[in-house]
Amino acid sequence: MIMIAPQDEPAPGNIKVTRWDWINLALQTLISNGIESVRVLPLGQELGVSRSSFYWYFESRQDLLDQLLAHWRNTNTKAIVERAMRPAESIIMGVMNVFECWADERLFDPRLDFAIREWARRSDDVRRAIDQADNDRLSAIRDMYRGHGYDEEDAFIRARVLYYMQIGYYMLDLKEPVEARISHLAAYLRSFTGQEPSEADVAHFLRFMAAR
């Protein structure tokens, strides 16, 4: 899971936890047990602090939930959009930039994405946030294809295939070893771009994988 680094001081009189301790535990609870388990009292009990610690950092439970959503936007969605927009000398390199999100959970946390989608089943506001995030991610990938000369419809469909395939992969909870998936890298690139990747292209991504 993508953890938030401490950036503030503990509440006066309570040196045990920071704001980020509350948020990180709330994220872990959301992923493990769902949104209904993200409650102030049990979180405080697990952290070993009173409710007053929570209200030093947050106005309400809803304030905490809003910040969980903000964290999700600023990690999962931001990572995809930034890598799709990253300058690339070819569409194959562009797609591999996006692949970095699928290969490194420090960039894109699939468990968090799944937990937010489950939360959206219970909240219209979160459903709208999901819809906006999916649109932002798809638009960035579509624009990546457009920037490499694909026409509007082709770019739109290729973006959908690339993005929906990966989200479906997560939703199905496939247990394919990383090594097995990487062995098909050239075929994936060929499928997503319609171009033949070079050995240098494949080697470039393998170096990224090795450096994680």
Which of 2, 5, 183, 159 is closest to 91 using CA atoms? 159
Cβ-based burial of 75 (10 A; exposed 0-12, middle 13-18, buried ≥19): buried
pLDDT at res. 178: 85
Confidence of residue 176 (pLDDT cuts 50, 70, 90): confident
Whether residues 42 and 89 share a domain: the answer is no
Whether residues 69 and 129 share a domain: the answer is yes
pLDDT at res. 14: 46
**Position 62 pLDDT exceeds 80:** yes
pLDDT in tens, 23-33: 999 999 999 99
Q: Which 8-state DSSP code applies to residue 148?
A: T
Q: Is 76 domain-assigned?
A: yes
Average pLDDT over residues 52-57: 93
Whether residues 47 and 130 share a domain: the answer is no
pLDDT at res. 85: 98
Looking at the 3D structure of the chain, how many domains does it have? Answer: 2
Whether residues 182 and 84 share a domain: the answer is yes
Dihedral of CA 175/180/184/189: which sign?
positive
pLDDT at res. 95: 98
Instruction: Identify the CATH number of the domain in which residue 153 sits.
Output: 1.10.357
Which of 106, 133, 134, 130 is closest to 118 using CA atoms? 130
Name the amino acid, one letter, at 30.
Answer: L
* Helix or strand run (H / E) with residue 156: helix 152-171
Full domain range(s) for residue 40: 13-58
Confidence of residue 175 (pLDDT cuts 50, 70, 90): confident
**Position 6 pLDDT exceeds 60:** no
Q: Is 85 domain-assigned?
A: yes
Whether residues 29 and 98 share a domain: the answer is no
Q: Which 8-state DSSP code applies to residue 105?
A: T
